[in-house]
């Protein structure tokens, strides 16, 4: 019994060897997000029915916002169809009475005619109304999907970077993507549910008039089917939720096998057949889950149909008894048979539609929960304006620890970036350089200490204005699949630009020869995503990235910070020397340049060099001061210099003091 009436629980499928080998264990969504938020996913029938009005209300509000006239048209046509169904049953009753009444056959046929005419007219009216409703609902559905998708995307881009890095939040982003399509389907299900409710109310009214005992019997027929459909939907939802990580991993493997970036290793290292084998293993465990669901659905539906059949037999038995005992005449019984049939069909349809609504509403609820969580993690819009002139940006004993890490990535770091200066940040891998850049740019806020723009604490400033003052060029900068011109202009997309306007940035970055090679110059489509697009080499892309940074910097005259993180990793030696001197030239009076690089030759001309070690500031000073101190910096510099000169002419790297 518990199998059928107990709570729906996630199945515990076998873990495939492939999962263990690739991911260290099973990948299952543990519904942690909802539990973590004290909002346990409650899949009982009562809770479904309780939460549904709010979710249906939210979808209808969206539809109202999208096109209220279309929504009103749908409402009117559905109510009209319900009324037509009731009038149709009354006409059937009149036909039955005429058919089974007294008089000759010809007289009875004459008496039949008005009823038959009414039935035909009602059928025509019904089909006109149904067509009207379908066309209006067809307009509403894509509009609602568009609104929900826009809400989803807008929320996703407005959250703090910390939320994007949080695996739980990422999972929520993943599951919420199904919401917009579900909202679209909910419109159709709402319309169908409204239709079947109205026809059911009409039929129930007629049945009650015919005999009061018929209504409860009708409900008894439909109830088991309602329960069955709801149970199947819940099992399917729990399964989708439990397997979402598995699905994501399978998709990831599929993408890796087809992505351009992995194509070389996939072929040369033989990764293709290896991953394909693992993909098949993982697909097999997902198929086993599908099979389990299908069997469970078959059993549930069989039990529901059996219970419904018993109720149907009891109803017809009661009607026979009522006729035999003289409590119901034959014409009424004839109408009742038709009414019970159409009523149980309406009730069945209503149950199916409520079930669809319930299933879709689970995804719409995830979408809603994502919007709420995204709002909670949104970058605040309020704040003081950033003064145009700030003279310097400074970090004062800043500490930052990633949520899932014990050790801080930055520990009590203090540094100053005066406008017009070049500051270099160096340190071993994992020493905290990128984290420092995220703190500087306002993408992360410090847990301890203060970041100051001039005299203002960054936490009190309007963050979008802080972002507006930061230009970023990282080694993994985005290679947008758009034209070369747009790839540069996107550095400040709100600023209109003709190709001529962008020429200064192209020249600055030394990207002239790159653009000259393109078939349509700056109008050429880049990145091999679309047909006819041109792929650039890593170094050529880096020049385009540098032009983008220049365009961003040159379109603002307010004090700003330019952060360049390994900007020359893909450049040839000549281009690298040239790029470092260009970056230095960007340190205009109203700009502070921060340079993160492992290329020690690029940092020696910086005004000030900060050395990070395990998140702490180990030393700082000019190149000459740091070399004289013979600390970590001197050790790193000597280690690189030793690669370029004959052995013996440069002191061998020593351990830091
Ligand atoms: N999103 C994150 N979540 C958790 N820990 C992180 C995250 N990003 C970085 N870390 C950790 O923070 C520490 C500092 O990382 P960071 O990327 O700032 O170093 P880095 O100096 O830029 O390294 P590299 O020279 O290799 O680029 C590392 O221990 C890293 O594992």
In a domain, 50, yes or no: yes
Single residue among 354, 376, 398 that ends a domain in this structure:
376
Residue listed under structure tokens 């939907």: 233
Number of domains forming the structure of the chain: 3
Domain co-membership, 254 together with 366: yes
In this structure, of 120-124, 197-201, 271-275, 322-326, the range with the lowest mean pLDDT score is 197-201
- Atom nearest to 428 CA in ligand 1: 25
What is the arithmetic mean of pLDDT over 248-260?
A: 80
Task: Name the closest-CA residue to atom 1, ligand 1.
Answer: 165
- Atom nearest to 404 CA in ligand 1: 4
Domain co-membership, 490 together with 513: yes
pLDDT at 643 over 50: yes
What is the arithmetic mean of pLDDT over 636-656?
A: 64
Label residue 542 by pLDDT band (50, 70, 90). Answer: confident
CA of 473 to the centre of ligand 1 (A): 17
In a domain, 14, yes or no: no
CATH code for the domain of 600: 3.40.50.300
Task: Name the closest-CA residue to atom 30, ligand 1.
Answer: 430
The residue whose CB lies within 8 Å of the most ligand 1 atoms, and thus the one to mutate among 405, 472, 598, is 405
* Cα 491 to Cα 343: distance, rounded to the nearest angstrom: 63
- Residue in 323, 345, 325, 324 with CA at minimum distance from that of residue 334: 323
What is the arithmetic mean of pLDDT over 296-322?
A: 88
- Residue in 392, 388, 385, 387 with CA at minimum distance from that of residue 558: 388
The residue whose CB lies within 8 Å of the most ligand 1 atoms, and thus the one to mutate among 160, 404, 427, 430, is 430
Task: Name the closest-CA residue to atom 31, ligand 1.
Answer: 430
Do 433 and 612 form a contact (C-beta atoms < 8 A)?
yes
Task: Name the closest-CA residue to atom 7, ligand 1.
Answer: 402
In this structure, of 91-100, 118-127, 298-307, 567-576, the range with the lowest mean pLDDT score is 567-576
In a domain, 550, yes or no: no
- Atom nearest to 437 CA in ligand 1: 18
**270 or 579: which leads in pLDDT:** 270
- Atom nearest to 438 CA in ligand 1: 18
Task: Name the closest-CA residue to atom 24, ligand 1.
Answer: 429
**By percentage, how much of the chain surpasses pLDDT 90?**
25
Do 119 and 91 form a contact (C-beta atoms < 8 A)?
yes
What is the arithmetic mean of pLDDT over 635-657?
A: 64
**In this structure, is the dihedral angle defined by the CA atoms of residues 327, 331, 333 and 339, taken in order, positive or negative?**
negative
Task: Tokens for 274, please give them.
Answer: 């290896």
CA of 403 to the centre of ligand 1 (A): 12
* Cα 110 to Cα 126: distance, rounded to the nearest angstrom: 25
Domain co-membership, 356 together with 399: no
In a domain, 11, yes or no: no
What is the arithmetic mean of pLDDT over 490-499?
A: 87
In this structure, of 88-102, 358-372, 573-587, the range with the lowest mean pLDDT score is 573-587
In a domain, 4, yes or no: no
In a domain, 15, yes or no: no
H or E segment to which residue 357 belongs? helix 330-376
CA of 286 to the centre of ligand 1 (A): 35
**657 or 643: which leads in pLDDT:** 643
C-alpha pair distances (Å), 149 with each of 152, 154, 371: 5, 8, 11
Task: Name the closest-CA residue to atom 23, ligand 1.
Answer: 430
What is the arithmetic mean of pLDDT over 267-293?
A: 85
Dihedral of the alpha carbons of 530, 533, 539, 544, in degrees to the nearest 10 = -100
φ, ψ at 414 (rounded to 5°):
-125, 125
In a domain, 194, yes or no: yes
- Atom nearest to 432 CA in ligand 1: 18
DSSP readout, 85-153? HHHHHHHHHHHHHHHHSSS-HHHHHHHHHHHHHHHHHHHHHHHHHHHHHHHHHHHHHHHHHHHHHHHHH
Label residue 122 by pLDDT band (50, 70, 90). Answer: very high
- Residue in 488, 491, 516 with CA at minimum distance from that of residue 502: 488
pLDDT at 34 over 60: no
* Cα 65 to Cα 127: distance, rounded to the nearest angstrom: 28
ipTM of the complex model: 0.97
Residue 453 CB partners (closer than 8 Å, separation 6+): 386, 387, 390, 393, 461, 466, 469
Helix and strand totals (H; E) in the chain? 24, 10
Domain co-membership, 124 together with 204: yes
Domain co-membership, 484 together with 591: no
- Atom nearest to 615 CA in ligand 1: 14
Do 563 and 472 form a contact (C-beta atoms < 8 A)?
yes
Residues 433-445 pLDDT 10s: 999 999 999 999 9
Task: Tokens for 647, please give them.
Answer: 């052995």
CA of 503 to the centre of ligand 1 (A): 36
Domain co-membership, 372 together with 388: no
CA of 430 to the centre of ligand 1 (A): 5
- Atom nearest to 598 CA in ligand 1: 25
Single residue among 361, 376, 391 that ends a domain in this structure:
376
Predicted local confidence at residue 50, as pLDDT: 74
- Residue in 182, 149, 10 with CA at minimum distance from that of residue 66: 149
pLDDT at 266 over 90: no
pLDDT at 649 over 90: no
Residue listed under structure tokens 């390994």: 566
* Cα 441 to Cα 434: distance, rounded to the nearest angstrom: 11
H or E segment to which residue 623 belongs? helix 623-629
Domain co-membership, 461 together with 531: no
- Atom nearest to 435 CA in ligand 1: 18
Domain co-membership, 394 together with 356: no
Tell me the average pLDDT of the chain: 83
Predicted local confidence at residue 448, as pLDDT: 93
* Cα 186 to Cα 357: distance, rounded to the nearest angstrom: 6
Predicted local confidence at residue 298, as pLDDT: 92
- Start-end of H helices in 377-404: none
Domain span including residue 618 = 382-469+556-657
In a domain, 417, yes or no: yes
Domain co-membership, 626 together with 525: no
- Atom nearest to 427 CA in ligand 1: 21
CA of 128 to the centre of ligand 1 (A): 65
Predicted local confidence at residue 639, as pLDDT: 83
Burial (CB count within 10 angstroms: exposed 0-12, middle 13-18, buried 19+), residue 439? buried
Predicted local confidence at residue 443, as pLDDT: 92
Residues 70-117 pLDDT 10s: 999 998 998 888 888 888 888 888 888 887 777 777 877 788 888 889
CA of 433 to the centre of ligand 1 (A): 8
- Atom nearest to 566 CA in ligand 1: 27
pLDDT at 647 over 60: no
pTM above 0.80, yes or no: no
Predicted local confidence at residue 65, as pLDDT: 87
CA of 603 to the centre of ligand 1 (A): 21
CA of 318 to the centre of ligand 1 (A): 75
CATH code for the domain of 118: 1.20.1560.10
* Cα 548 to Cα 197: distance, rounded to the nearest angstrom: 59
What is the arithmetic mean of pLDDT over 585-604?
A: 81
Which residues contact ligand 1 via a Cβ below 6 A? 165, 402, 404-405, 409, 427, 429-435
Residue 602 CB partners (closer than 8 Å, separation 6+): 424, 568, 576, 580, 595
Of the chain, the end-to-end C-alpha distance in Å amounts to 74
422-427 and 608-613 beta bridge pairing: parallel
pLDDT at 67 over 70: yes
CA of 161 to the centre of ligand 1 (A): 14
- Residue in 86, 307, 55, 309 with CA at minimum distance from that of residue 187: 55
What is the arithmetic mean of pLDDT over 341-370?
A: 80
Predicted local confidence at residue 606, as pLDDT: 85
Predicted local confidence at residue 341, as pLDDT: 79
Plot region of 614 (φ>0 → left; ψ -120 to 50 → alpha; else → beta) = left
pLDDT at 31 over 60: no
Label residue 569 by pLDDT band (50, 70, 90). Answer: low
Predicted local confidence at residue 469, as pLDDT: 92
Coil, helix or strand for 478? coil
Predicted local confidence at residue 24, as pLDDT: 74
Burial (CB count within 10 angstroms: exposed 0-12, middle 13-18, buried 19+), residue 187? buried
Predicted local confidence at residue 379, as pLDDT: 92
Domain co-membership, 390 together with 489: no
Task: Name the closest-CA residue to atom 18, ligand 1.
Answer: 432
Do 237 and 175 form a contact (C-beta atoms < 8 A)?
no
CA of 627 to the centre of ligand 1 (A): 27
Residue listed under structure tokens 């013996």: 648
Residues 398-430 pLDDT 10s: 999 998 788 899 999 999 999 988 899 999 888
Q: How many CA atoms lie within 13 Å of 64's alpha carbon, on the beta-carbon side?
A: 6
Predicted local confidence at residue 462, as pLDDT: 93
CA of 330 to the centre of ligand 1 (A): 83
Single residue among 341, 376, 411 that ends a domain in this structure:
376
* Cα 434 to Cα 282: distance, rounded to the nearest angstrom: 36
CA of 413 to the centre of ligand 1 (A): 15
The residue whose CB lies within 8 Å of the most ligand 1 atoms, and thus the one to mutate among 398, 407, 409, is 409
Domain co-membership, 599 together with 618: yes
560-565 and 470-473 beta bridge pairing: parallel
CA of 432 to the centre of ligand 1 (A): 6
448-453 and 392-400 beta bridge pairing: antiparallel
What is the arithmetic mean of pLDDT over 178-205?
A: 85
In this structure, of 363-367, 606-610, 647-651, the range with the lowest mean pLDDT score is 647-651
Domain co-membership, 457 together with 594: yes
Task: Name the closest-CA residue to atom 4, ligand 1.
Answer: 402
Predicted local confidence at residue 41, as pLDDT: 46
Do 483 and 523 form a contact (C-beta atoms < 8 A)?
yes
- Residue in 80, 180, 83 with CA at minimum distance from that of residue 133: 80
Residues 461-493 pLDDT 10s: 999 999 999 988 887 788 888 889 999 999 998
CA of 208 to the centre of ligand 1 (A): 72
Residues 129-141 pLDDT 10s: 999 999 998 899 9
In this structure, of 126-135, 328-337, 610-619, the range with the lowest mean pLDDT score is 328-337
Residue listed under structure tokens 């905290």: 432
* Cα 576 to Cα 597: distance, rounded to the nearest angstrom: 12
Predicted local confidence at residue 9, as pLDDT: 62
C-alpha pair distances (Å), 80 with each of 83, 84, 128, 187, 656: 5, 6, 10, 18, 86
Residue 386 CB partners (closer than 8 Å, separation 6+): 453, 456, 461, 462, 465, 466, 468, 469, 558
């Amino acid at each position: 019994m518990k199998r059928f009436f107990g709570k729906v629980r996630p199945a515990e499928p076998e873990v495939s060897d492939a999962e263990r080998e690739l991911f260290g264990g099973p990948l299952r969504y543990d519904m942690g997000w909802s539990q973590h938020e004290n909002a346990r996913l409650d899949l009982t029938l009562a809770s479904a029915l309780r939460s549904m009005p709010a979710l249906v209300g939210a979808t209808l509000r969206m539809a109202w916002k999208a096109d209220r006239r279309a929504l009103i048209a749908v409402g009117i046509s559905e109510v009209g169809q319900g009324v037509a169904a009731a009038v149709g049953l009354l006409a059937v009753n009149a036909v039955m009475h005429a058919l089974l009444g007294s008089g000759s056959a010809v007289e009875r046929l004459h008496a039949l005619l008005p009823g038959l005419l009414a039935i035909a007219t009602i059928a025509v009216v019904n089909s006109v109304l149904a067509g009207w409703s379908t066309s209006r609902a067809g307009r509403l559905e894509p509009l609602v999907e568009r609104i929900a998708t826009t809400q989803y995307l807008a929320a996703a881009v407005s959250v703090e970077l910390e939320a994007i890095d949080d695996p739980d939040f990422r999972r929520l982003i993943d599951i919420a993507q199904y919401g917009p399509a579900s909202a679209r389907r909910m419109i159709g299900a709402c319309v169908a549910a409204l239709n079947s409710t109205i026809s059911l109310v009409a039929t129930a009214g007629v049945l009650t008039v015919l005999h009061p005992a018929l209504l409860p019997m009708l409900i008894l027929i439909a109830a088991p089917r309602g329960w069955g459909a709801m149970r199947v939907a819940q099992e399917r939802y729990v399964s989708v939720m439990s397997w979402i990580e598995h699905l994501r991993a399978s998709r990831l493997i599929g993408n890796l096998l087809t992505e351009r970036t992995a194509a070389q290793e996939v072929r040369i290292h033989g990764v293709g057949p290896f991953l394909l084998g693992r993909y098949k293993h993982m697909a097999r465990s997902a198929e086993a889950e599908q099979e389990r669901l299908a069997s469970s659905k078959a059993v549930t539906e069989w039990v529901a149909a059996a219970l419904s059949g018993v109720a149907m037999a009891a109803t017809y038995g009661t009607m026979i008894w009522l006729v035999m005992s003289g409590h119901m005449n034959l014409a009424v019984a004839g109408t009742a048979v038709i009414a019970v049939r159409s009523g149980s069909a309406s009730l069945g349809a209503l149950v199916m539609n409520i079930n669809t609504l319930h299933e879709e509403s689970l995804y719409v609820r995830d979408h809603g929960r994502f919007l709420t969580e995204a709002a909670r993690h949104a970058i605040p819009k309020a704040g003081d304006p950033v003064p145009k002139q700030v003279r310097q940006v400074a970090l004062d004993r800043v500490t930052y620890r990633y949520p899932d890490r014990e050790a801080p990535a930055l520990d009590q770091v203090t540094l100053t970036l005066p406008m017009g200066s070049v500051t270099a940040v160096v340190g071993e891998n994992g020493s905290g350089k990128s984290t420092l850049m995220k703190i500087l740019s306002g993408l992360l806020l410090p847990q301890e200490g203060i970041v100051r723009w001039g005299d203002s604490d960054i936490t009190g400033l309007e963050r979008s204005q802080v972002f507006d003052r930061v230009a970023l060029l990282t080694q993994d900068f985005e290679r947008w699949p758009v034209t070369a011109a747009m790839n540069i202009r996107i550095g400040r997309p709100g600023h209109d630009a003709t190709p001529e306007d962008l020429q200064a940035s192209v020249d600055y970055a030394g990207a002239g020869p790159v653009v000259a090679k393109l078939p349509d110059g700056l109008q050429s489509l880049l990145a091999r995503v679309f047909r006819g697009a041109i792929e650039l080499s890593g170094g050529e892309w880096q020049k385009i990235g540098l032009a983008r940074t220049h365009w961003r910097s040159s379109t603002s005259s307010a004090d700003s910070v330019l952060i360049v993180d390994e900007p020359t990793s893909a450049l040839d030696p000549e281009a690298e020397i040239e790029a470092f001197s260009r970056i230095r030239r960007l340190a205009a009076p109203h700009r502070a340049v921060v340079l993160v690089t492992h290329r020690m030759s690029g940092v020696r001309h910086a005004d000030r060099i900060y050395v990070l070690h395990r998140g702490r500031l180990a030393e700082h000073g000019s190149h000459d001061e740091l070399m004289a101190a013979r600390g970590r910096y001197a050790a790193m510099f000597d280690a690189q210099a030793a690669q370029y000169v004959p052995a013996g002419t440069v002191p061998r790297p020593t351990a830091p003091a």
